[in-house]
Amino acid sequence: MKMLVTGATGKLGTKVVEKLLTTVPADQLVVSVRNPEKAEAFRARGIEVRQGDFDHPDTLSSAFAGIDRILIISADGDNDTRIRQHSNAVAAAQQAGVAFIAYTSIGHASESPLFLAPVHRSTEEAIVKTGIPYSFLRNNWYLENETGSIQGVMAGAPWVTSAGSGKVGWAAQQDYAEAAAAVLAGEGHDNTVYELSGPLLTQEELAQALGQVLGKEVVVQQVDDAAYAEIMKGAGVPDFVVPILVAIQSGIREGALEIESNDFEKLLGRPTTPIVEALRQIVDGLKNA
């Protein structure tokens, strides 16, 4: 049984591989990465490293050869680029005769209004069309996505948001990684959809939890999207990133990530890491950086 993880040198991919190594022999694991030099640490631990670039389908054909189960971790970039890249990966998996595809998607991908959803909707549809058994890991939102805001609060700034009373199912990236590892290495996951969402919190509730970690009150500054954009620009966020952040805030405000589910517990056999504990890990990491 050969299992492959794409994007294995990324933040999520690295955590998935580390978790797999606790239950799967290294000689059954393969990683597909754009730059194999960055994966030497995996090779040193007995994991086969293959070069695979989603922009070059010919590399994927060889990367996926002889693989039984694959985890396709969604790529970064604009929507059109990601749709093309994911399509290449799915086609290569089908060509290689892969027997199972797990894919990191987004919450309620099939009907989500979030601007990121079309990428995942397209990829899920492409996977279904192959006829290969699959599992869609519909990840809600990584708590680590809020690192910039956490850094700002640590520096004395308020928690700035235009998300209003919208709720998010934040969870630590480690929890998402362990769920993905459980599906890739486990059984009984054919043709499943997992809505991976932590306990729902508003921005105020998340800021309150951060206050517990920092030992101070965190002021929440609720603004409209235009003001949020200006504040982000003033904080040094690159111009091309600002509209993305505004769209995320808008999506949260409209309920795009307000998804209740106990699927995490099904896969992990435990609740998600408590939000205060997960925030403390991020804060400690920032202090020690």
| pTM recorded for the entire structure | 0.96
- 28 contacts 190 by C-beta, under 8 angstroms: no
What integer pLDDT is reported at residue 219 of this predicted model? 97
Distances (CA, A) of 160 to 195, 222, 248, 281: 28, 6, 13, 21
What integer pLDDT is reported at residue 8 of this predicted model? 96
CATH number for region 140-171+197-258+272-289: 3.90.25.10
For residue 203, the Cα-to-chain-centroid distance in whole angstroms is 20
Residue among 177, 169, 143, 129 at smallest CA distance from 278: 143
C-alpha radius of gyration, the chain, whole number? 19
What integer pLDDT is reported at residue 140 of this predicted model? 98
Task: Tell me the CATH architecture of domain 3-139.
Answer: 3-Layer(aba) Sandwich (3.40)
- Using DSSP, state whether 78 is helix, strand or coil: coil
* Parts of the chain belonging to CATH 3.90.25.10: 140-171+197-258+272-289
CA dihedral 27, 31, 37, 40 (to 10 degrees): -30
List 192's β-bridge partners, or say none: 135
What integer pLDDT is reported at residue 26 of this predicted model? 98
Instruction: Convert the pLDDT of each residue in 253-271 to its tens digit.
Output: 999 999 999 999 999 999 9
Give the Cα separation of 254 and 274 in Å (integer). Answer: 25
* Parts of the chain belonging to CATH 3.40.50.720: 3-139
What integer pLDDT is reported at residue 77 of this predicted model? 87
What integer pLDDT is reported at residue 275 of this predicted model? 98
Q: Which residues of the chain have pLDDT under 50?
A: none
